[in-house]
Structure 1
Amino acid sequence: MSKIIERIPLPSPTPGTRRELTLHRYGEAGARPKAYLQGSLHADETPGMLTLCHLVDRLDGAAAGRIRGEIVVVPAANPIGMSQALLGNHLGRYEAASGGNFNRGFFSLAPRAIELLEGRLGADPEANKQAVRAALAQALDEVPATGELAALRKILMGQAIDADIVLDCHCDLEALMHLYLGSDLWPDGRDLAAQIGSAATLLAIEAGDNPFDEIFSATWHRLAAHFGSERPIPPGALSATIEYRGQADVDDAVAAGDADNLYRFLARRGLIDDEAGPLPELATEARPLEATALLHAPVPGIVVYRKRLGDAVSAGELIAEIVDPMADRPNAARVPVVSETDGFLLSRLVQKFARRGAVVGKVCGERPLPSRRGTLLED
């Protein structure tokens, strides 16, 4: 098989409307290893979408005989979010009908999988892996999904449920390239971080609220913890979220380079019979997600940054000032935003205006912070 383009319709939410997903399939169905890549689950985050469009071009050139496993690419994973706009502004992070974040609330399969796996696991990790994949597929098949968003989630999960590599391509507001990864997937994911040029790799077993990538990492961790060492369950997939810099970083040359890096990563992992080339040096060692400080605006106003992306900062150092444009002397009415930790500035706002309490930046540190407990992701 060289390539198949598949279009999967979503259930119509209202009369006269219809949306569909487009999937690019390479290699033989069921071949190993399998990689699943999707872009723009947050539909207004377009850098990853363009990167996967370029990757499709690269894979099209390799399809005639070079694909050694199975590769599924979905450049635009959220046709619902792509269609949403209000007064000229694209609204792709939340579903307008429910207010739900498109990358939260994916179905929790572990409880049902545990029921299905009782009495079926032994001492062979590889046999257990196959049993877990079958149980998760059955658990997903049993999930009712009548609405459009639920159907979208079920379709996406179904495409990735048996993959060895799952890459969910997003972007931040204004940021350096970075990577979210399960703690137990490091250092296995070291080659991915190095190849894509990640400035930061942020590790957590569960960041909270069931984002897409954790369905294929944290779920396996929960199952392994439940069944214990006598019935060992290895990680099911290298599942990661790649943050392709910021929303404004949409550039053909940059995206083509990012696609080349994904192609080399897939070749190195045995999915493509092609030269991967030398592995680039890793920019920084992985760090716990709990060590990344969120900078909150103490007051509303204009955000004036004093640090650029990548700048090294110390705890207590000034990162930005908030200007109150309605004060008697606006430039004198500045409130500082300081770093909670030593590290470097990873992300900033695109629109330099903030409401009180808004996150205006992230500082990537090395030591877990007392303030970072529970759900670690912003909504």
Structure 2
Amino acid sequence: MAQDISFNVRNNNGDPVQVSAWRFEGASGGPKVHLQAGVHADEIAGMLVLHRLMQRLAVAEAAGQLKGTVTVVPQANPLGIGQFRQGRILGRFHDATGHNFNRGFDQSAAMEQPSTNVQAWQKQLVHLAAPADVVLDLHTDDEALPYIYVHRSFWPRGRELAAAMKMDVAIIWDDGGDGSFEETIIAPWLREGTTQGRMAATLELRGQGDVNDRFAEQDADGLYAWLCRYGVIDEAMPAAEWPVEVKDMAQMETILAPQPGVLIFEKNLGDVVEQGQRFARILRRPGDPSSEVVLVAEQTGRMVTRYRDRLIPQGAVVAKFTGSQESRNWSGGLLDPN
């Protein structure tokens, strides 16, 4: 039976709120795995995936098939999950401080006495995950194809994970600098040269509206099969076959909204758009045809993400595309700077 290892943090009122976590114990000496979802509290899909996966892990544990330890945190962020304004969850940023919940983990983890509730929560989450050999952080985008975000040190060995999860795209990164959870966890591995036999990745499970039993079952099955292949569960699983488009992060094209207005997409997720071809338009003042701006692709590539709402503010990310060469807008850092 899984051990309850939940812990409490303080919300803005100083009241304790719980981070629910469970540990499935198998044979000693096997791989240590940390799985979590909902660091950005409005990214719900991974919560249901881990909920389903835990049921399978419980069966494997009871049957004596676990060869390692699996820690599962299916809803990692109780600070963000309670933030609602006008009926909508504000889960990416801490409402009181504006802190992006997935930024600054490195600074928080290094603090002897964190000064904010967010920093205290981040420090405890890093402490929980730090002993693991495998760390998978489940996220979702606005509207998106499923894709994996992984440091170059774990590629091409991460291809089997991407295939098991039926990820359409793998984005390979080298330098971050913003203290995301994944970056903070792997920093000592990179510094000490101990990445061999380890794995860390961020799994983007489609879009925020893609929360249903069919996708959750598919993704839970993929994670379970990969854990078997990795040697965490003693069960034979065939290697997955799935075409994964691999791109350096510098080759990704991010298109920002040049003006606010009604957003009309003319291309769908997964479509290949030729360089200079229109894919969307933004109507700033309905009734005024001259206020419409047409958006075109910077280079030929596949549409990986789209803005979910159809009224967009200026400067928001309209879409992201794969490319075949480095983007002229690339300036380093991570895919989403905010």
- What's the TM-score bracket when you normalise by the shorter of the two chains? over 0.9
Matches of residues 21-170 of structure 1 in structure 2 within 5 Å? Answer: 21-28=19-26, 31-64=29-62, 65-108=64-107, 140=109, 143-170=112-139
Against the structure 1 CA distance between its residues 4 and 142, is the aligned structure 2 distance closer, same or farther, given a 3 Å change threshold?
same
State the alpha-carbon separation in 1 of the partners of residues 227 and 115 from structure 2. 35
Against the structure 1 CA distance between its residues 161 and 102, is the aligned structure 2 distance closer, same or farther, given a 3 Å change threshold?
same
Q: Which amino acid aligns with 1:43?
A: A
| Deviation sequence 1:307-345 (CA, Å, 0-9, x none) | 10000112111110111234x534x54211111121100
Q: Percent identity?
A: 36
Secondary structure of the residue that 1:171 maps to in structure 2? strand
Matches of residues 1-379 of structure 1 in structure 2 within 5 Å? Answer: 2-11=1-10, 13-15=12-14, 17-28=15-26, 31-64=29-62, 65-108=64-107, 140=109, 143-221=112-190, 223-224=191-192, 233-235=194-196, 237-276=198-237, 278-326=238-286, 328-330=287-289, 333-378=291-336, 379=338
| Deviation sequence 1:108-136 (CA, Å, 0-9, x none) | 59xxxxxxxxxxxxxxxxxxxxxxxxxxx
The range that moved more, 304-313 or 361-370, is 361-370
| Mapped contact 1:52–1:259 kept (Cα < 8 A) | yes
Secondary structure of the residue that 1:346 maps to in structure 2? strand
Structure 1 unaligned blocks of 5 or more = 110-139, 225-231
| Mapped contact 1:216–1:236 kept (Cα < 8 A) | no
Calculate the aligned-residue CA RMSD, in Å: 1.9
Against the structure 1 CA distance between its residues 7 and 44, is the aligned structure 2 distance closer, same or farther, given a 3 Å change threshold?
same
Q: Which amino acid aligns with 2:154?
A: L
| Mapped contact 2:141–2:206 kept (Cα < 8 A) | yes
Secondary structure of the residue that 2:305 maps to in structure 1? strand
Secondary structure of the residue that 2:6 maps to in structure 1? strand
Deviation at 1:179, TM superposition (A): 0.6
Secondary structure of the residue that 2:19 maps to in structure 1? strand
| Mapped contact 1:288–1:367 kept (Cα < 8 A) | no
| Mapped contact 2:6–2:18 kept (Cα < 8 A) | yes
| Deviation sequence 1:206-233 (CA, Å, 0-9, x none) | 2331111112334433x25xxxxxxx54
| Deviation sequence 1:288-321 (CA, Å, 0-9, x none) | 0111100111221111111100001121111101
Q: Which amino acid aligns with 1:288?
A: D
Structure 2 unaligned blocks of 5 or more = none
State the alpha-carbon separation in 2 of the partners of residues 352 and 237 from structure 1. 41
State the alpha-carbon separation in 2 of the partners of residues 92 and 286 from structure 1. 29
Secondary structure of the residue that 1:10 maps to in structure 2? strand
Against the structure 1 CA distance between its residues 97 and 104, is the aligned structure 2 distance closer, same or farther, given a 3 Å change threshold?
same
Q: Which amino acid aligns with 1:299?
A: Q
| Mapped contact 1:312–1:344 kept (Cα < 8 A) | yes
| Mapped contact 2:303–2:321 kept (Cα < 8 A) | yes
**Structure 2 equivalent of residue 117 of structure 1:** none
Deviation at 1:36, TM superposition (A): 0.4
State the alpha-carbon separation in 2 of the partners of residues 315 and 197 from structure 1. 27
State the alpha-carbon separation in 1 of the partners of residues 103 and 309 from structure 2. 24
Secondary structure of the residue that 1:216 maps to in structure 2? helix
| Mapped contact 1:309–1:347 kept (Cα < 8 A) | yes
**Structure 2 equivalent of residue 124 of structure 1:** none
| Mapped contact 2:303–2:319 kept (Cα < 8 A) | yes
State the alpha-carbon separation in 2 of the partners of residues 314 and 165 from structure 1. 38
Against the structure 1 CA distance between its residues 351 and 12, is the aligned structure 2 distance closer, same or farther, given a 3 Å change threshold?
closer
- Find the structure with the greater CA-based Rg: 1
**TM, length-normalised to structure 1:** 0.84
Against the structure 1 CA distance between its residues 141 and 315, is the aligned structure 2 distance closer, same or farther, given a 3 Å change threshold?
closer
Secondary structure of the residue that 2:224 maps to in structure 1? helix
Against the structure 1 CA distance between its residues 319 and 219, is the aligned structure 2 distance closer, same or farther, given a 3 Å change threshold?
farther
Deviation at 1:74, TM superposition (A): 0.4
**TM, length-normalised to structure 2:** 0.94
